[in-house]
Homo-oligomer: A and B are copies of this chain.
């Protein structure tokens, strides 16, 4: 069920993620691709690629959805504690290749941890 076919649209999205070093918001992708494909298609392809493990998603500071293809995406075991960084000036969002340690909690089972850091990126610091 739900085999991911290598359609033209899928290839287009894949190459966008390959080419981009940072995360991409769904809103931006839909806007950027609106002449080439329907927004529903964008949403559905992103869902499938995430299900496949090719990309991963997270929620930005304003509640909008972002996707990224990072090095840990290629591993089978998905690392849940890799943080994301959002620049308050240029709006760029990136995956950070560091690990954040989540303390163990008694009485609760933690299944995943989303860490979103906000601040100024290298480019915007000056």
- Please measure, in the bound complex, the distance between the C-alpha atom of A76 and the C-alpha atom of B65, giving whole angstroms: 32
Cβ of A111 < 8 Å from any Cβ of B?
Answer: yes
- Please measure, in the bound complex, the distance between the C-alpha atom of A120 and the C-alpha atom of B118, giving whole angstroms: 27
Cβ of A29 < 8 Å from any Cβ of B?
Answer: no
Cβ of A59 < 8 Å from any Cβ of B?
Answer: yes
Tell me whether B117 and A102 are in contact (CB under 8 A): yes
Can you list 21 residue pairs at the A/B interface with Cβ under 8 Å? A59-B59, A63-B63, A63-B65, A85-B105, A88-B111, A100-B103, A100-B115, A101-B101, A102-B115, A107-B125, A108-B119, A108-B125, A109-B120, A110-B117, A111-B118, A111-B120, A113-B116, A113-B118, A114-B115, A114-B117, A116-B116
Cβ of A36 < 8 Å from any Cβ of B?
Answer: no
Cβ of A121 < 8 Å from any Cβ of B?
Answer: yes
Against B, the Cβ 8 Å flags (1 = close, 0 = not) of A4-45 are: 000000000000000000000000000000000000000000
